[in-house]
Amino acid sequence: MTNPLALSVLDQTPVPEGSTGPDALQNSIDLARLADELGYRRYWLAEHHNGPLLAGPSPEVLIGPIATVTSRLRVGSGGVMLPHYSPLKVAESFSVLAGLFGDRIDLGIGRAPGTDPFTTYALQRDRRQAAPDDFPDQLAELLALLEERIPPDHPFARLSKLPGRPYAPEPWLLGSSPQSGIWAAQTGLPYAFADFINPDGAAIAQRYRSEFRDSHRLAAPRLAVGVSVICAETDEEAWHLAASGRMTMTLLRRGRLIPVPPPEKALRFLQSEGQPLEGTPPGRRLVAGAPDTVAARLREVAAAYGAEELIVVTITYDHGARRRSYELLAEAFGLTAAEPALERAASA
């Protein structure tokens, strides 16, 4: 008997047109509460910088408030873009979170900048030259710090124990390219593949599994796939809602960043561009439709990757529609909702 497919949330903290960053941040906290009640496995916060579309540049800052208002979810980063930071600072920050919230903290690690070259430069501490491309060394250092495996002859061997010990975050490697899968396999890490960026990752996932090295971190490969999803009462309503994200992605490819527009505005834009009112642009995948439609398609995606878990990212103009999408998806997959507080009290 195969294990049931786990569902999780990737929250990019979208900012609707006419709204504000603080509104979007409060929406993230609200959505996390809902995901916790519905039975999702984990709730990851993305890292994006300097744009009007997404209000989440600091997942490590959002993790604490969200872990505080939830109880069942694992909470983490999806992910921390390690090239911007000192491995020690990342290790310390996530150790503090693990110390506060025990074994509920995930540390998803990415290599992509999460922004444009100008902002990448602004994020650098030393701007005299471009930052070195040394991600494998950064990753090895971060893992050694988290696991207290710094070699005795290493320059950092005398660093003190991290403050959250004995608790530690669970590290994951994130990616959308073959190289990320190779690194995840070589280091024995669980791997989260971004299908919503690159929908042609099945071969990458297969290579990760076949080349995976048993390690003290993980005895067998573990794969999650991030998928863009909009679920609504009907297929037609789902594609209506999807117009907002399709407009933002069309303009993003042209170098224009905008807040998430209302569907009616987005539909007018798509019509002016001669785009069909349903379907996704080349090189992207969006699973949209009624619950049965979406559930069937997501199971196909999971089977293609051999994934045990799907991490669902949903962007809509209306926060209520985003909440409803996750509710319908939870129902379609039979997630186990938390008991209402009064029922729990009566059964105690």
Q: What's the pLDDT score for residue 3?
A: 65
Q: What's the pLDDT score for residue 154?
A: 82
* Helix, strand, coil percent values for the chain (each to nearest 5): 45, 15, 40
pLDDT tens track, the chain, 348 positions: 356 899 999 999 999 999 999 999 999 999 999 999 999 999 999 999 998 999 999 999 999 999 999 999 999 999 999 999 999 999 999 999 999 999 999 999 999 887 888 888 888 888 888 788 899 999 999 999 999 998 888 888 888 789 999 999 999 999 999 999 999 999 999 999 999 999 999 999 999 999 999 999 999 999 999 999 999 999 999 999 999 999 999 999 898 999 999 999 999 999 999 888 777 766 679 999 999 999 999 999 999 999 999 999 999 999 999 999 999 999 999 999 887 644 444 444
Phi, psi of 270 (to 5 degrees): -60, -40
Q: Where are the domains of the chain?
A: 6-236+284-347
Tell me which DSSP letter residue 53 carries: S
Say if residues 215 and 188 touch (Cβ distance below 8 Å).
yes
Q: What's the pLDDT score for residue 130?
A: 79
Q: What's the pLDDT score for residue 278?
A: 78
Q: Left (φ > 0), alpha (ψ -120 to 50) or beta: where does 211 sit?
A: alpha
Which single residue is written with the structure tokens 């979810």?
73
> What CATH class has 6-236+284-347?
alpha beta
Residues listed for the chain: 348
Q: How many CA atoms lie within 13 A of 178 on its CB side?
A: 3
What is this structure's pTM?
0.93
Give the span between the Cα atoms of 320 and 27, in whole angstroms.
10
Q: What's the pLDDT score for residue 343?
A: 46
Contacts of 190 (CB under 8 A, 6+ apart): 170, 171, 172, 173, 184, 218, 221, 222, 223, 224
Give the span between the Cα atoms of 120 and 203, in whole angstroms.
30
Give the span between the Cα atoms of 33 and 47, in whole angstroms.
20
Q: Left (φ > 0), alpha (ψ -120 to 50) or beta: where does 297 sit?
A: alpha
Q: How many CB atoms lie within 10 A of CB 343?
A: 10
